[in-house]
């Protein structure tokens, strides 16, 4: 689709899931998250000790994940750079996300930065090992988080490819996120669902009632996105 070198994007064409998957596995984030999923699944199988509470973890995650997406998207990815004690507070995630809005078809910018995963995955592992009353439940948490993370990466990536929606469910998810990028960046913050949290948090208006934002490709009107 595109490169980080500034080359022109190739002509758009419809692709199938096999083509999309071939590109997906060329990037580090899916491998890092997928590795965490495989490792936690193997460890969970070895530990055993399955209990009813192991079912609660994925059910709770399923309920809260759209809101987690919303909060991260609004508060972390759309963070506006601020001067704090003479130092600019601006995370790698926020910078990369501004670049992503500036060029939504630049494939590497679609994924969670691998640099972020080098500290985020160990933090999640420690949480799984230390924050739960038994090891098995902590490993269930790690399995669940990794699976949801991989679903997020695949869904977000697929939306930004030339794969055309075929199912009614995916079409709704695809449309919701594309409204965020190409209609108005102040709304439609969920990615893996069609506005579940947006509806409850007031960021899912009728698209026809919302003006097209002049800053959807240039977040915060801060000038051209800067490469880092």
Give the pLDDT confidence of 200-215 residue by residue, as tens digits.
Answer: 999 999 999 999 999 9
Question: pLDDT tier at 117 (50, 70, 90 boundaries)?
Answer: very high
What percentage of the chain exceeds 70 in pLDDT?
A: 91
Longest distance between any two alpha carbons in the chain, whole Å: 55
Q: Would you say residue 67 has pLDDT above 60? A: yes
CA dihedral 211, 216, 222, 225 (to 10 degrees): -170
Question: pLDDT tier at 138 (50, 70, 90 boundaries)?
Answer: very high
Q: Would you say residue 223 has pLDDT above 50? A: no
**Cα–Cα distance measured from residue 170 to residue 129, given in angstroms and rounded to the nearest whole number:** 35
CB 4 within 8 A of CB 108: yes
Q: Would you say residue 113 has pLDDT above 80? A: yes
CB 173 within 8 A of CB 192: yes
pTM (2 decimals)?
0.89
Q: Which of 199, 201, 204 is nearest to 183 (CA)?
A: 204
pLDDT, residue 80, reads 93
Q: Would you say residue 85 has pLDDT above 50? A: yes
**Cα–Cα distance measured from residue 132 to residue 138, given in angstroms and rounded to the nearest whole number:** 5
Question: Quick one: average pLDDT of 169-192?
Answer: 96
Q: Which of 197, 228, 170 is nearest to 71 (CA)?
A: 197
């Amino acid at each position: 689709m595109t490169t980080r070198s500034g080359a022109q994007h190739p002509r758009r064409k419809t692709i199938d899931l096999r083509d999309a998957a071939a590109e997906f596995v060329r990037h580090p984030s899916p491998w890092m998250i997928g590795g965490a999923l495989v490792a936690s699944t193997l460890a969970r199988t070895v530990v055993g000790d399955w209990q009813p509470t192991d079912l609660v973890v994925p059910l709770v995650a399923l309920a809260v994940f759209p809101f987690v997406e919303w909060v991260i998207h609004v508060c972390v990815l759309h963070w506006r750079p601020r001067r704090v004690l003479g130092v600019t507070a601006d995370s790698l995630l926020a910078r990369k996300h501004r670049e992503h809005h500036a060029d939504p078809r630049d494939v590497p910018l679609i994924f969670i930065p691998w640099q972020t995963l080098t500290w985020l995955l160990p933090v999640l592992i420690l949480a799984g090992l230390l924050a739960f009353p038994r090891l098995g439940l902590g490993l269930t948490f790690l399995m669940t988080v990794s699976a949801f993370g991989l679903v997020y990466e695949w869904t977000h990536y697929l939306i930004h490819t030339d794969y055309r929606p075929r199912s009614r469910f995916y079409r709704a998810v695809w449309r919701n996120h594309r409204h965020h990028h190409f209609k108005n960046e102040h709304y439609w913050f969920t990615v893996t669902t069609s506005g579940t949290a947006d509806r409850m948090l007031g960021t899912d208006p009728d698209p026809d009632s919302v003006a097209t934002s002049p800053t959807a490709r240039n977040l915060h009107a801060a000038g051209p996105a800067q490469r880092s």
